[in-house]
Structure 1
Amino acid sequence: MPQMSRQDPLIENHTVDYVPLAERHGKARDLFTLWFSTNIAPLPIVTGAMVAQVFHLNLMWGLLAIALGHMLGGIVIALASAQGPRMGIPQMVQSRGQFGRYGALLIVFFAALIYIGFFISNIVLAGKSIVGIVPSVPVPASILIGALSATAIGVIGYRFIHTLNRIGTWVMGSALLAGFIYIFAHDLPADFLTRGGFNVAGWLATVSLGVIWQISFSPYTSDYSRYLPADIGITRPFIATYLGATLGTILSFAFGLVAALATPEGTEAMVAVKQATGVLGPILMVLFLLNIISHNALNLYGAVLSIITSIQTFASQWTPSIKVRVVLSGVVLTGCCVVALGASADFISQFIGLILALLLVLVPWASINLIDFYIIKRGAYDIASIFRADGGIYGRFNLHAIVAYFIGIIVQLPFANTSLYVGPWANLVEGADLSWLVGLVVTCPLYYCLATRQHTQKVRAARLGYTD
């Protein structure tokens, strides 16, 4: 297995190009630490508190719904991550092998928009966290500190991100465990086990939230596995990613749920964490802040790679250098800071609503990506064609994938339940957004039928001598 030498640069020197076999390094367990540590953060904890505060589930039914949702959604993120060692290229670049060189641009655009949205939301959240810990620091300065810190990590790139999350797994995992122990070691409210109950709408909404949470990571998971040795296979990256992503999020959601039930009903989520964990509260707040910054580096990294992918689509002979990634990181940082500094008080909730609405476009993409990689092509892609100006064997546009993609979006709309749009059938189960399920059920078989039909036609044409 190739190892990193002492001469390897600290700053990652690849952008969207193929990672040669001689430069592959790392182990599958690095994927566990990355996705475990990344998901121990305030946002999943606040979301977990919603299970009791918004969906009104009790502890038992809440934990069951949390676990089931993330275990189902974790299959998608793990299958996407396992593609990285085989392909050696970023996830969005790989989409050219499914949608065609230019056909993939729309998906890349949506992915970049989602990354940037999360980056802005997280630097606002980081700024507020800094002010909460050190009130004397002005809000604008706090936002800039959070943004610059995340940018520094994102610029350094792949290796540093993995290193931070290896450390973060032990630190954040231990901190969360200490928080659980503290809560259960002290007096709990009399209604801790009985507050809430079971309701179909709340339970399905919680399951759906877990599924959507995991799917939202799928456009960039293989970005962090593409440096692994090609002979590592599919199983080990899948298991490592699956366990890391599901365990990290289940623990964080569960911690938010427990903290909400351990404090008076109606207590704001992060206030509940502080109150429930007592003397550990300030320590947890500092650790959560550090994790927001570390996690946000992934959003910047993904956004920059997506932008580079878009530009490189029109300049096939161009191999972007590290300087390009650094410059683009600065441009994205500047733009995001301008937006964040002018953000309103309810900016985070509004922007998260927008981003969750955009997740409607990820479900059909994930369906096509997984069906194409695992069933149609079985991991056998022509890397040279992916980088050719004419798309090589994948062409400039793959109409079968594009048609399946847009139909996958359209069929979700009647069931969508987002802050931007509520479909006519959105309340079949009140409070639960089940559009993702419709998207998966329709897009997967539709794309499979279209893709296999296309393959059959090519085989027949070749037999008749109509193709080379």
Structure 2
Amino acid sequence: MTLEQPSESRLAVEHRTIEVIPDAERHGTPRSQFTLWFGANMQITAIVDGALAVVFGADALWAIPALLIGNILGGIVMALHSAQGPRLGVPQMISSRAQFGVFGAVLPLVMVILMYLGFAATGSVLAGQAVCEILHIDNTKVGILIFGALTAVVAVTGYRLIHLAGRIATVAGIVGLGYLVIALFAKYDVGAHVGDKSFDLATFLLAVSLGAGWQLTFGPYVADYSRYLPRDTSERATFWSTFAGSVIGSQWSMTLGALIAAVAGDAFLPDQVGFVGDLAGPAFVAFLIYLVILVGKLTVNCLNAYGGFMSILTTVTAFDGRSRISPVVRAAYIVAFTATSVVIAIVASADFLGNFKNFVLLLLMVFTPWSAINLTDYYLISRERVDIPALYDPNGRYGRWNVPALTCYVVGVVAQIPFLAQKLYTGPLTERLGGADISWIVGLAFTAVIYYAWARKTNNPPAETIHPAADRGDDAATLLV
């Protein structure tokens, strides 16, 4: 089988999946992480995420710094996951087998797959609207189908084309969103719509949670895109490139969203994409802005489709012991995942903003304990020493199930319930805090503490990182056909 080499065309289909990336195939620099994550965050869903803070009660004057705090806090966690990629050369959820066991890692994986489907579906709704505007189609379902096909093509092609899309989205995002900021201030008296409301702790913390949740949900797949970097790549450089790209891109988009919601009021709620197009002004300029929206959504939706496929494969291969699949089966997985997200998008509820807010906050509840366990173990318990071959062996060092990690994960999720502020449930302690949702903070801190206390007594990390034999990559891999 022909392997992806640094000299290959960006249009060459990726052949690697969940196996270790051999040193001979490592390439690139941390700069690629900046452009990928900057481009992935300069997009319409991030604008909507920032607008939610204002739609649900915060003044933009307070929402913007709150979103920044959330982006920074969540971005630190997200970038710490990214820094693992060059060292280990494996997808993020494969590395979590070191904490949960080869079979045990399936528990958070199921939630990860649902997350990818949710984000892919909500992104398809917004991108489908942009496609309709570009092609002058009245049926959003047709736009969603077209966007789904584009997503499948790029995601099937794989890592290199996704990075190229990220670079294109970076340039398009800077120009497009920069223009929208200027247009917003030219068309509206923004200052007159900011600072009308006094500080409110509950809505301030909601904005922090929206920013943090946005970043934390990248954690389960961020290392998938840094694992091709050379093994000797600086962890510091990988961290800062990922952090800067993701935080700057998302904060720019969310700030624009908060200001749009402040000046537009109810006009933004029924048609977010249409409002942004109207803000752009002349028809030709609006057309270009719709293209910017499409490119940005395509980049991040490909991340969702690619990550969803990797998570499904990680789940399946935990039980059959294989580490590779054929390109045909790989493509089938991605197409099936994308088709499922398209179906969800088509039948999605009309209450987009309300459901999206609750979706993001729910994801915080299930992913903060996972992040806490993964990072605590990797940096504090194992101290970056991992038995990489054992990640694929249920009978190896990490075993099938890791009871301490799984117990701490469940306890970490349950511990957040009293602090939730969801549409269907508000915790008793949340009411005493005036409706402020701090569940994700509890999930991170509490889980990290109890896991560290338990795991330092039970875990058995290797004396140094164990890498696969140089010739193990292809010779020992069994194809699933």
Question: 1:163, CA displacement in angstroms?
Answer: 0.8
Question: 1:359, CA displacement in angstroms?
Answer: 3.2
8 Å Cα contact 2:209/2:361 also seen in 1: no
Q: Which residue of 1 aligns with 2:54?
A: 52
Residues 117-176 of structure 1, C-alpha deviations (whole Å, 9 max, x = no match): 211222222223323444435333212101111111111111110111112111111211
Q: 23, 26, 31: which is aligned to 1:24?
A: 26
Residues 381-427 of structure 1, C-alpha deviations (whole Å, 9 max, x = no match): 0111111142x111111111111111111101111122343322233
Question: 1:23, CA displacement in angstroms?
Answer: 0.3
| Counterpart AA for 2:428 | P
8 Å Cα contact 1:354/1:420 also seen in 2: no
Q: Structure 1 352/130 Cα, relative in aligned 2: closer, same or farther at 3 Å?
A: farther
The whole-number CA distance in structure 1 between the counterparts of 2:191 and 2:312 is 53
Question: 1:429, CA displacement in angstroms?
Answer: 3.1
8 Å Cα contact 1:58/1:194 also seen in 2: yes
Q: Which residue of 2 aligns with 1:444?
A: 448
Structure 2: runs of 5 or more not aligned: 464-481
The whole-number CA distance in structure 2 between the counterparts of 1:294 and 1:97 is 30
Q: Does 1:191 align with 2:195?
A: no
TM-score normalised over the length of structure 2: 0.88
The whole-number CA distance in structure 2 between the counterparts of 1:163 and 1:31 is 11
Comparing 362-371 and 203-212, the one that deviates more: 203-212
Q: 413, 418, 422: which is aligned to 1:414?
A: 418
The whole-number CA distance in structure 1 between the counterparts of 2:430 and 2:363 is 16
Q: Does 1:287 align with 2:287?
A: no
Q: Which residue of 1 aligns with 2:431?
A: 427
CA RMSD in angstroms, aligned pairs only: 2.5
Q: Which residue of 2 aligns with 1:383?
A: 388
Q: Which residue of 2 aligns with 1:230?
A: 231
Residues 270-326 of structure 1, C-alpha deviations (whole Å, 9 max, x = no match): 355345443344432331122212211111111111111111111114522222210
Comparing 311-320 and 233-242, the one that deviates more: 311-320
Q: 322, 332, 346: which is aligned to 2:351?
A: 346
| Counterpart AA for 1:247 | I
Q: Which residue of 2 aligns with 1:463?
A: none
Question: 1:71, CA displacement in angstroms?
Answer: 0.9
Q: Structure 1 356/201 Cα, relative in aligned 2: closer, same or farther at 3 Å?
A: closer
| Counterpart AA for 1:250 | Q
8 Å Cα contact 2:169/2:292 also seen in 1: no
Q: Which residue of 1 aligns with 2:17?
A: 15
Q: 267, 273, 284: which is aligned to 2:276?
A: 273
Q: Does 1:103 align with 2:104?
A: yes
Q: Structure 1 257/281 Cα, relative in aligned 2: closer, same or farther at 3 Å?
A: farther
Question: 1:445, CA displacement in angstroms?
Answer: 1.1
8 Å Cα contact 1:84/1:91 also seen in 2: yes
Q: Which residue of 2 aligns with 1:174?
A: 175
Comparing 227-236 and 315-324, the one that deviates more: 315-324
Number of residue pairs the alignment of both structures matches:
455
Q: Which residue of 1 aligns with 2:84?
A: 83
| Counterpart AA for 2:266 | G
Residues 160-217 of structure 1, C-alpha deviations (whole Å, 9 max, x = no match): 1011111211111121112222333455156234333322222121112111111111
Residues 340-365 of structure 1, C-alpha deviations (whole Å, 9 max, x = no match): 33344336754663464243111100
Q: Which residue of 2 aligns with 1:156?
A: 157
The whole-number CA distance in structure 1 between the counterparts of 2:412 and 2:51 is 31
The whole-number CA distance in structure 2 between the counterparts of 1:87 and 1:420 is 40
Comparing 194-203 and 219-228, the one that deviates more: 194-203
Q: Does 1:210 align with 2:211?
A: yes
Question: 1:68, CA displacement in angstroms?
Answer: 1.4
Q: Structure 1 184/440 Cα, relative in aligned 2: closer, same or farther at 3 Å?
A: same
Question: 1:41, CA displacement in angstroms?
Answer: 1.3
1:239-318 equivalences in 2 (<5 Å): 239-263=240-264, 265-268=265-268, 270=272, 272-279=275-282, 280-317=285-322
8 Å Cα contact 1:130/1:137 also seen in 2: no
TM-score normalised over the length of structure 1: 0.91
